[in-house]
Amino acid sequence: MVLKGLCERIVSSKCSSKSSTETVDNTQVPVYSKAGSSDCKFPKASLWSSIFTSGFSVVETYSESSASEKKAVPSRSSGWAAAVRKVVTGGSMRRFQERVLGSSRTDISSSDGDIWLLGVCHKISQQESTGDVDTSNGLASFEQDFSSKILVTYRKGFDAIGDTKYTSDVNWGCMLRSSQMLVAQALLFHKLGRSWRKPIDKPLDKEYIDVLQLFGDSEASAFSIHNLLQAGKGYGLAVGSWVGPYAMCRTWEVLARKKNDLGEPPLPMAIYVVSGDEDGERGGAPVVCIEDASKRCSEFSSGLAAWTPLLLLVPLVLGLDKVNPRYIPLLRSTFKFPQSLGIMGGKPGASTYIIGVQNEKAFYLDPHDVQQVVNISGDTQEPTGTSSYHCNVMRHIPLDSIDPSLAIGFYCRDKDDFDDFCSQASKLAEESNGAPLFTVAKSRSFSKQVSNDVSGDNTGFQEEDFPGMDCGNDTVTNEDDWQLL
The pLDDT, as a whole number, for residue 368 is 96
Region 86-93 average pLDDT: 41
Q: How far apart are CA 238 and CA 72, in angstroms?
A: 29
The pLDDT, as a whole number, for residue 202 is 77
Asked if residue 89 has pLDDT above 50, the reply is: no
Region 52-60 average pLDDT: 39
Asked if residue 456 has pLDDT above 90, the reply is: no
Asked if residue 367 has pLDDT above 70, the reply is: yes
Asked if residue 4 has pLDDT above 50, the reply is: no
pTM of this structure: 0.74
How many other C-beta atoms can be found within 10 angstroms of the C-beta atom of residue 281? Answer: 12
pLDDT: is 458 or 241 the higher one? 241
- Which pLDDT band holds residue 283 (cuts at 50, 70, 90)? low
The pLDDT, as a whole number, for residue 135 is 58
Instruction: Tell me how many degrees the CA angle 312-356-337 measures, rounded to the nearest 5.
Output: 45
Among residues 368, 396, 412, 422, the one annotated as catalytic is: 368
pLDDT digits (tens, 9 = 90+) for 237-278: 999 999 999 999 999 999 999 888 778 899 999 999 998 654
- Bridge partners of 156, per DSSP, are 168, 372
Q: How far apart are CA 90 and CA 243, in angstroms?
A: 32
Region 18-29 average pLDDT: 36
Cα–Cα separations (whole angstroms), residue 309 to 157, 191, 196, 363, 421: 35, 11, 18, 27, 13
Phi, psi of 343 (to 5 degrees): -130, 130
Domain extents in the chain:
96-441
Least confident of 98-112, 141-155, 169-183, 460-474: 460-474
Active site residue 391: no
Instruction: Tell me how many degrees the CA angle 319-325-330 measures, rounded to the nearest 5.
Output: 95
| DSSP assigned state of 456 | S
Give the burial class of 320: count Cβ atoms within 10 A of its Cβ; 0-12 exposed, 13-18 middle, 19 or more buried.
exposed
Active site residue 368: yes
Region 364-387 average pLDDT: 87
Region 75-97 average pLDDT: 43
The pLDDT, as a whole number, for residue 346 is 87
Q: How far apart are CA 92 and CA 98, in angstroms?
A: 10
Whether 376 and 208 have beta carbons less than 8 Å apart is answered as no
Please give the mean pLDDT across all residues of the chain: 76
Q: How far apart are CA 207 and CA 57, in angstroms?
A: 35
Among residues 366, 403, 470, 474, the one annotated as catalytic is: 366
Whether 25 and 156 have beta carbons less than 8 Å apart is answered as no
Among residues 15, 174, 249, 297, the one annotated as catalytic is: 174
Whether 166 and 239 have beta carbons less than 8 Å apart is answered as yes
Least confident of 148-162, 345-359, 440-454: 440-454
Percentage of the chain with pLDDT > 70? 65
Active site residue 396: no
